[in-house]
Amino acid sequence: MIQGTSAQPYLEYGRLIHAWRNEIKHTFAMVSGGTGIAEVRLKALEKGKAKPEWRELELLAKYFYVSVRDLLPFENDLKRGIKILRHKDACFFDQERAGRKQYSYWNRAMSQALPNFKPVELLLHLNRREDVILNRGHFFHQYTQVLHGGPVAYLWEWEGKVHEEIFTEGDSWLIPGFVPHAFYSPEPKNLGRILAITFGQNIGGDARQELALLRPENAARIIQDEKDYYPKGMDI
Residues forming the site for Fe ion (CB under 5 A)? 142
- Cβ count within 10 A of residue 10: 19
Q: Smallest distance from the beta carbon of 79 to Fe ion, in angstroms? A: 29
Nearer to Fe ion, 142 or 185 (CB): 142
Instruction: Decide whether 31 or 132 has the Cβ nearer to Fe ion.
Output: 132
CB atoms within 10 A of CB 174: 10
Which DSSP helix (H) or strand (E) runs through 119? strand 117-124
Smallest gap from Cβ 95 to Fe ion, in A, equals: 11
Q: Which is nearer to Fe ion, 28 or 117 (CB)?
A: 117
- Running DSSP on this structure, what letter comes out for residue 178? T
What does the alpha-carbon distance between residue 178 and residue 51 come to, in Å, rounded to a whole number? 39
Give the residue among 172, 168, 104, 167 at the shortest CA–CA distance from 144.
172
Min CB(179)–Fe ion separation in Å: 9
Residue 224: CB minimum distance to Fe ion, A = 37
Contact by Cβ (8 Å): 216, 222: no
Q: Tell me whether residue 34 or residue 180 sits nearer to Fe ion (CB atom).
A: 180
List strands edge to edge, sheet with 152-158: 161-167, 152-158, 181-184
Q: What span, in angstroms and rounded, lies between the C-alpha atoms of 223 and 30? A: 25
Separation between Cα atoms, residue 125 and residue 137, nearest integer Å = 20
Nearest to Fe ion of 20, 154 (CB atom): 154
Nearer Cβ to Fe ion, position 64 or 167? 167
| DSSP state letters, 135-174 | ----SSEEEEEEEES--EEEEEEETTEEEEEEE-TT-EEE
Give strand pairing partners of 96.
101
Which one, 8 or 142, has the nearer CB to Fe ion? 142
